[in-house]
Structure 1
Amino acid sequence: MYLKSIKFVFVLFVVFLSSFLCTSQNIKKLLKKGSIEDKVFKSTFKYEPYGNAIFVKVLIKGKTYRLLFDTGAVTAVSPRMVEELNLEIVGKEEVYDLGNTSKNLNFVKMDTINLNGINFFDTGAAVLDIEAVKDFKCTGIDGFLGANFMRNAVWEVDMVKHEITFTNTIDAISIPEDTPHAKIFIGYDGTPAITAYLGNEKLYSTMIDYGYGGGISLFSYDFKKLREENADIKYVKSNGGSTVAGVYGDIKTSTTYKAIVDSFKTGDFKVPSTLMSFGQFGSRTIGAGFLKNYRVVLSWKDRKAWFIENKIADDQIIFSGHGYGIRLENESVFISSISENSEAEEKGLKINDKILSVNDVDFAKVTDQKWCEILSTNRPDKVKLVIQRDTKQLTVTLEKKVLLSN
């Protein structure tokens, strides 16, 4: 299944990085403990693309598992993997997702993980019931290959060729002269973050996150400050908020914005004009939807990220749509957000309208499998919605329109 839905963004932050959280020393040691084969190596392999997500295969105790490549999280495995591999629970920790929803999770240690012939040792992992989250279940993945696993090597990610290269030394990677780079700051769990600027505003702890399928996502108050600097900035406001997949279920945000921004930079890397999102998530994030335009090199040892232009970005930025978001609740689909000046707003759709059908496709009872099919299907330019509002049934036809362009 090739997932194209905007809703399906891998927004998994298994450990919230703020230093004030009471993280046990045992878990901190576990997440820092891993190591790699003591030899000179350079390994390149093709990964499985899935929208903007990266799936890789690893070998553990002779069994092959399919994991999400996720620099924005610690490594995580499913309870099924724990049972199959007979892994011992070595500790518990309170962890958080983007909605700041917390839960105590078990942690395990895997003696050896083999990636493309190279062995990684003593990797700590959270035990996460991935199938309990509908959107993650759609992918059929077994877990997450996280930043604590990656911190012991240098990584080059090429989303144009669908290739990953990893090596024990930065000297093995070809980086052109004058390639822009930024200093990265490493959380105790290995997650890499940068300090950035949005206009004149300094932004700390902006995560480089290949586990998030969107582009650059910042806080709502970052957008407020940006507008104070530039009142003429073009943007679209969505009321009610979008719905995204978190560790413990869907996260409902309130008001979100999309804007065309040309004043974002980190280190000596000035980002070209790009479409950015602003909401109320638990972290600032640079996701795979933006990183795919670059051959990115990450070195935990050198504490640097290089951004090698890999794809000439289109000067024309166009954001179009029908102007509504959806959520699944108790096998029913509801309107979760409405964008201002969209067809959805103009035709009178309201948040919490229940969708009974779309283009004569029945939405009356949406199973997990049907939800996966909905997420994997692009909306056509014209949609006919039959909705229920209180005791009334209404039919609304919407045309896709340009909501934002430069």
Structure 2
Amino acid sequence: MQKISQLFLIFFTILISAQGKRFFEDGEVQLKNPVEKVNLTYASDLPFVKVNINGKIYNFLFDSGAPTVISNTIYSELNLEKKHKSKVKNSQKNKQEQIFTQLPEMTVDNVIFKNIGVVVMDFNSSELGCFKIDGILGANQMAKLFWRINYSENSIETTKDLANFDLKDYETVIPFETKAQKTPTVIATILNKKIDLTFDTGFTGRLKITDSNYDPKKVKQTVETYGTNSVGAFGAGKPVSGYIFIADEMVLGNKTFQNELVMTGSSSLIGNEFFKDFIFIMDWKNNKIYMKRIKNNPPKLESFGFGYRFVDAKPLVAFVFKENGLPIHIGDSILSINTVDLDHLNEESACNYMINRVEKDYKTIEIKVKRDGKILDFKLDKSEYLK
């Protein structure tokens, strides 16, 4: 089910120089056994793994849409040497200059990575800090092995030899190309257009295409939206108009998928709302992704018609469906939902409600907002759109 009450999380892509491309080729990996099982925690539509660096355990996001990243804290604790600086661009087109360095060793269960090129960044900015992430195990690191991922069983397996994974029942085969940091890009046909989608395990949503690829003449059902519907590594993008629609067909690899739910935005991505119905294998040697369906949950869009983000521990409406009669406006400060006080939160409780939304299990909510100094009360029903 597509959830429009919280924002979708996307991490970042990078503008790479020739020097940077070589940087992400560095490193080596050692396995104790032919196939190694790796701890995985799939929570809040994101995959996390525990890694050991210099005898200390850290929480890393397993993110194919980004390179490997470490926090400023790890960089300082290990007293690592700066290799160079380069501009980094996140999914919302925000840019910052970041340090690039090399991590001498990282252990993930029984998998030992050495001399991996990494980017250094602050993980305490915006909503990102709520997930207490210390780093990202990214595509340049993943590319050194074959990976089999099953979110349903909190399972990752990895090997140096693809023959250790039986591909017999993997009915969907998707070729991909890679960006400089090894991020896989797949080609999908949506609305009769071939669109490059980043295969992104750091994206909590389903399918997203850039505004330029949207053609209203080819869409039977759509919901028009306005605001900010996703957050990247350096914060949220600017409020913009957008659309959520049903694509009658999506061709991906050797398969055609019917009635796919797609949203528009600043990036083209395929993410965890899609992946979680499959076991999938990522193969950088042959540049292919193999997928075996384990669930059949047709996508549907249920929403109260708005989304919100927390700014300085205050929930603010950041995204709305542009429909007649919706009383919630962009910029409304949410004081309470179903008597839960959201106006006097500390940082910890704001993070709790950011991740565990008050309204997620309700069909009807009573919401109190503040707008232009006035306090307003509304009762809202959750609706299913694009039926």
TM-score for the superposition, normalised by structure 2: 0.92
Q: Which residue of 2 aligns with 1:202?
A: 194
* Cα distance, 1:116 vs structure 2: 2.0
Counterparts of 1:285 and 1:327, CA distance in 2:
21
Counterparts of 2:8 and 2:150, CA distance in 1:
19
Contact 1:213 1:288 in 2 (8 A): yes
Q: Which residue of 2 aligns with 1:370?
A: 349
Contact 1:108 1:127 in 2 (8 A): yes
Distance 1:351 1:368, change over 3 A: same
Counterparts of 2:332 and 2:153, CA distance in 1:
42
**Is the partner of 1:138 in helix, strand or coil?**
helix
Counterparts of 1:304 and 1:347, CA distance in 2:
44
1:229 aligned onto 2:213: no
1:341-380 correspondence to structure 2 within 5 Å: 341=323, 345-375=324-354, 376-379=356-359, 380=362
Counterparts of 1:389 and 1:290, CA distance in 2:
37
Deviations 1:71-129 (A, max 9, x none): 00011111111122222221111000111111100112112222221212211111111
Q: Which residue of 1 aligns with 2:55?
A: 62
Say which is worse superposed, 156-165 or 390-399, in terms of deviation. Answer: 390-399
* Cα distance, 1:192 vs structure 2: 0.5
* Cα distance, 1:253 vs structure 2: 3.6
Counterparts of 2:287 and 2:99, CA distance in 1:
30
Contact 1:237 1:339 in 2 (8 A): yes
Amino acid at match of 1:34: G
Amino acid at match of 2:282: L
Distance 1:322 1:5, change over 3 A: closer
Counterparts of 1:354 and 1:387, CA distance in 2:
5
Counterparts of 2:20 and 2:113, CA distance in 1:
18
Amino acid at match of 1:15: I
Amino acid at match of 1:298: M
1:173-212 correspondence to structure 2 within 5 Å: 173-176=165-168, 179-204=171-196, 206-212=197-203
1:297 aligned onto 2:296: no
Q: Which residue of 2 aligns with 1:142?
A: 134
* Cα distance, 1:378 vs structure 2: 4.2
Contact 1:12 1:211 in 2 (8 A): yes
Counterparts of 1:197 and 1:212, CA distance in 2:
20
* Cα distance, 1:334 vs structure 2: 2.3
Q: Which residue of 1 aligns with 2:6?
A: 7
Contact 2:309 2:318 in 1 (8 A): yes
Amino acid at match of 1:302: N
1:275-286 correspondence to structure 2 within 5 Å: 275-279=261-265, 281=266, 283-286=267-270
1:168 aligned onto 2:164: no
Counterparts of 1:53 and 1:109, CA distance in 2:
26
1:35 aligned onto 2:15: no
Identical-residue share of aligned pairs (%): 24
Mark the runs of 5 or more structure 2 residues left unpaired by the alignment.
none
Contact 2:46 2:61 in 1 (8 A): yes
Counterparts of 2:332 and 2:169, CA distance in 1:
55
* Cα distance, 1:353 vs structure 2: 2.2
Q: Which residue of 1 aligns with 2:211?
A: 220
Counterparts of 2:21 and 2:84, CA distance in 1:
11
Q: Which residue of 2 aligns with 1:92?
A: 85
Deviations 1:303-348 (A, max 9, x none): 111111121234xx4322211111333443322222134xxx5253
* Cα distance, 1:188 vs structure 2: 1.1
Q: 1 or 2, which has the higher strand percentage?
A: 2
Counterparts of 1:199 and 1:357, CA distance in 2:
41
Deviations 1:2-39 (A, max 9, x none): xx8853533001414xxxxxx34433222111222388
TM-score for the superposition, normalised by structure 1: 0.88
* Cα distance, 1:220 vs structure 2: 2.2
Deviations 1:231-289 (A, max 9, x none): xx2222212x234222122223412222222311122122243322222x2x2111011
* Cα distance, 1:178 vs structure 2: 6.8
Contact 1:5 1:378 in 2 (8 A): no
Q: Which residue of 2 aligns with 1:20?
A: none
Contact 1:347 1:396 in 2 (8 A): no
Q: Which residue of 1 aligns with 2:146?
A: 154
Contact 1:10 1:245 in 2 (8 A): yes
1:253-292 correspondence to structure 2 within 5 Å: 253-279=239-265, 281=266, 283-292=267-276
* Cα distance, 1:190 vs structure 2: 0.8
Counterparts of 2:175 and 2:318, CA distance in 1:
38
* Cα distance, 1:377 vs structure 2: 2.4
Contact 1:180 1:307 in 2 (8 A): yes
Amino acid at match of 1:193: T
Contact 1:320 1:404 in 2 (8 A): no
Deviations 1:329-373 (A, max 9, x none): 3443322222134xxx52532222222332233333443223212
Q: Which residue of 1 aligns with 2:295?
A: 311
